[in-house]
Each structure stands twice: as C-alpha cells, then as structure tokens.
Amino acid sequence: MLDDFLVRATLAGLGVVLAAAPLGCFVVWRRMAFFGAATAHAAVLGVALSLALSMSIFVGVLAVSLLMAVTVSLLSDRGYAMDTLLGVMAHSSLAFGLVAVSFLSDVRIDLMAYLFGDILAVGRGDLAIIWGGSLLVLGLTLWRWQALLLTTVNADLAYAEGLDPSRERLILTLALAIVVAVAIKVVGVLLIAALLIIPAATARPFSRTPERMAMAAAGLGALAVLGGMWGSWQWDTPTGPTIVCVSATLFALLAGLARSLPGRHRAV
C-alpha cells in the first residue's frame, strides 16, 4: 500500500496535522503566529547547512529551528520584545539561508520544493520521520497540556501553582520547532505557519473547551489535507498550496456561519 505515492502523501499530511492542531491552538491563544513563520523562515538556513554538510535535511532543519526557539526564549527573558526578536531573527536567518544556498554551486537544489513543499515526493523514510516527530510532539503536548494551558490563561496563577511560565514557553517553542522540521516536506517553509494557525482559528468560535478546540482543529486540518489532495489531483495544482487554500476556504465559510449563530463560544 505504501508504494502508492498518493497514499504516502496523504499519510504525511495527516501526520503533520496531528501534531500541528494542538500546537496551533496555543499559537492562536498566545498570539504567537509570527513565531511559527519566523521558525519556518529559519528552516531555509537549515536546508542550506544540511546540503553543505551532506547530512539529512530533517536534521539540519531541526537543529536550526531548535536553536532559534531556544535563542528567542532566552532573549525574551532579558527584556527584548518578542515581536522585535522574531522580526530580526526571521528575516536574518532567511537571508543567510538564501545566500548560503547560492554558494552551493555543486549541489542541485529545487528551492521551490522547500519553500512550498513537495508532498508527492514523500518516501517511506520521510513518512517515518514525519509520524515519529508528530507522535513525539503530540505526546509532549498531552504530557504538558494542563501546565501549558494554565500558563497561557494566567501566568500569575501558574506561578502560584508552582509552574514556571518561562519553562513552559520553552517547551512549546521546542515542540513548534519539531513541527516545522517535519512539515517542511509537506507544505514547505512559507506555508507551515498557515497549517498551524488556520485550522485552530477556524475551530475557535465553535469550541466550548480547549480540548474540543484542539480536536476540532485536528479534524479541520485533516479535512483540508484530504480536500487539498483531491483538488491537486483533479486540477493539477501544487499540492501544498492547495491544502492551505482548502483550509482558508473552510475558515471563510465557517467564519461566516459563526457570525450567524447566537451565543458563540470561544475556548480561551
């Protein structure tokens, strides 16, 4: 069954959504949308380093993403504004990555595949990495769910409960870095943030609890993957962008529906 490239591509998309959905909820609640985009931009530098050192793309992207997550988390505790840090690091790492790629004259690289994804080229090894990373992130999120939720709602209350908000923020940023590393093959650098944010934002008006919002986001993300795969097959469009287009269409349709419903609910 895994010899069918469409099956592998669909499983890869569902694997990414499994991890991205709950993290996307925290991104929406904490207003960290720019962090996802910034980490994704840094992934270009990871791609360049991987090719220069002849190592796995996943390893290089994960290393750079984790380094950026840790750096932003540490510097934000020293008085730097988060949006300023992300702006500096996102654009700097993207620029350095693109310059580094230009020096790789002896390496053939399809930059578009890394910018917008190449889900149809996912192999068995890629599938193992995607699902392994996604299950790791999902397990970490479930383990720290209450702590992450409490620090998101009220940092002072978290302190009173013996939790360290800075540590929980670091855990969240590390999990986001892993998602970026596994998602780059599916939707690419420029669309990773969309896969994190749009399903969660779509699910928010219809969710009474955080847990329901996370599950609804996962369902909407899975629907976007399946719809994007079908649309790409039918109309011969780029698969990664088509998945994001379907997700955005769902957001637009359900946002209009949410406005017409009395007594709308928001999880957080």
- The 10s digit of each residue's pLDDT in 101-139 is 777 766 666 667 777 888 888 888 889 999 999 999 999
- The 10s digit of each residue's pLDDT in 166-212 is 888 888 888 988 898 888 888 887 788 888 999 999 999 888 899 99
Q: Which domains does the chain have, with CATH numbers?
A: 5-188 (1.10.3470.10)
What would you measure as the largest C-alpha separation in the chain, in angstroms? 61
Instruction: Count other C-beta atoms under 10 Å from residue 18's C-beta.
Output: 19
User: Angle 57-76/165-183 helices, nearest 10 degrees?
Assistant: 160
Whether residue 67 has pLDDT greater than 90? no
The one-character DSSP state at 1 is -
Question: Which residue, chain included where needed, has tokens 């020293």?
Answer: 78
- Of the chain, the percentage scoring pLDDT greater than 90 comes to 34
Confidence of residue 267 (pLDDT cuts 50, 70, 90): low
- CA 211 to chain CA centroid, nearest Å: 19
User: Angle 82-102/33-52 helices, nearest 10 degrees?
Assistant: 30
In degrees rounded to 5, what are phi and psi of residue 265? Answer: -120, 145
3-state DSSP call for residue 189?
helix
Whether residue 148 has pLDDT greater than 80? yes
Average pLDDT over the chain reads 85
- In order of 40, 224, 240, the CA distances from 66 in angstroms are 11, 27, 24
- The 10s digit of each residue's pLDDT in 2-36 is 558 889 999 999 999 988 988 999 989 988 777 77
Confidence of residue 221 (pLDDT cuts 50, 70, 90): very high
pLDDT at 2: 56
Confidence of residue 74 (pLDDT cuts 50, 70, 90): confident
Q: How far apart are CA 227 and CA 222, in angstroms?
A: 8
For every residue of 88-127, DSSP letters joined together read HHHHHHHHHHHHHHHT-TTS---HHHHHH--GGG--HHHH
Confidence of residue 235 (pLDDT cuts 50, 70, 90): very high
Question: Which residue, chain included where needed, has tokens 């093959």?
Answer: 185
Q: How far apart are CA 72 and CA 259, in angstroms?
A: 37
pLDDT at 101: 76
